[in-house]
């Protein structure tokens, strides 16, 4: 099964809120669900999946390894704990959520553990998240570019993250866009508003359609049924080359996510 280009993110969703969002998403047709150890909602995601009636083999399920589990001998037990919470024997994709803070642990140490998890059948695919070019090259040196399915990074019309996108494209690594609506800031963009009006859709739909037509994967999060449906429908919106170019032109390259433990960005 290939990774669906439109997924449902669960960042910041907790308890019954995430159960309802995942349940509604699966009902509407989402078949790609993204969670993480640090989100503290894997158990709720697992409960929603189990209760949905959708066969497990039809859902592409992603989780991410938190930084405290990157040291030797810690990654695989942490993933096994995630699998128990998610009520599944295997996830479809496991990502390293962030590089080790201050590079205290070499990239090869945790990438090799991740590759071992795949060899054991705990995950079908592996990848990374929030990796810079330098960290990506180290990951490639450790396990090979072919082994890395995606790099999940901040990416939206206001922040194109070009060094990472270009590096990944050149090496056949897909880019997954988290926070694809920039915390709702795309709704205020006149260019996206104008293009949306021409198509009878929201600026959010334009932002998502742009990401998908650029060849990326998008994982917007929402708790509203109408927004979940609109996000899913964005996959069917086709923008012209001129419209795509107009969207590319609005980037401010202002990063919204940059925690103090993060890497030195490209």
pLDDT at 202: 97
Contact 261, 98 (CB under 8 A): yes
From 39, 110, 178, 183, the catalytic residue? 39
Report the C-alpha gap between 100 and 77 in whole angstroms: 18
For the chain, where are the E strands, in sequence order? 8-9, 32-34, 60-65, 91-96, 123-129, 148-154, 174-178, 217-218
Percentage of the chain lying above the pLDDT 90 cut = 98
pLDDT at 1: 67
pLDDT at 254: 87
32 labelled ligand-binding: no
What residue ranges do the domains of the chain occupy? 8-182
- pLDDT under 70: residue ranges of the chain: 1
Instruction: Classify domain 8-182 by CATH number.
Output: 3.20.20.100
Report the C-alpha gap between 209 and 245 in whole angstroms: 13
DSSP letter (8 states) at residue 4: P
Clarify whether 39 is annotated catalytic. Answer: yes
pLDDT at 2: 87
Quick check: pTM over 0.95?
yes
pLDDT at 248: 96
pLDDT at 189: 97
């Amino acid at each position: 099964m290939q990774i669906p280009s439109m997924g449902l993110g669960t960042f910041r969703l907790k308890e019954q809120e995430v159960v309802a969002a995942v349940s509604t998403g699966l009902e509407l047709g989402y078949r790609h669900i993204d969670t993480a150890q640090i989100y503290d909602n894997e158990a709720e995601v697992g409960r929603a999946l189990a209760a949905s009636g959708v066969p497990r083999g039809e859902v592409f399920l992603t989780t991410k390894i938190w930084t405290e589990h990157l040291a030797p001998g810690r990654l695989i037990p942490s993933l096994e704990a995630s699998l128990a919470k998610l009520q599944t024997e295997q996830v479809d994709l496991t990502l390293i959520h962030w590089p080790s803070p201050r590079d205290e642990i070499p990239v090869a140490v945790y990438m090799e553990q991740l590759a071992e998890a795949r060899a054991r059948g705990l995950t079908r695919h592996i990848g990374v998240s929030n990796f810079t070019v330098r960290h990506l090259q180290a990951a490639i040196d450790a396990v090979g570019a072919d082994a890395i399915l995606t790099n999940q990074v901040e990416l939206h019309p206001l922040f194109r993250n070009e060094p990472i996108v270009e590096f990944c494209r050149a090496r056949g690594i897909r880019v997954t866009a988290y926070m694809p609506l920039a915390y709702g800031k795309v709704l205020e963009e006149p260019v996206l508003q104008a293009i949306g009006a021409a198509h009878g859709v929201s600026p959010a739909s334009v932002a998502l359609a742009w990401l998908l037509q650029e060849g990326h994967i998008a994982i917007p999060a929402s708790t509203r049924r109408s927004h979940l449906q609109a996000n899913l429908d964005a996959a069917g919106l086709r923008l012209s080359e001129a419209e795509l170019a107009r969207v590319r032109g609005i980037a401010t390259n202002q990063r919204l996510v940059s925690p103090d433990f993060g890497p030195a960005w490209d």
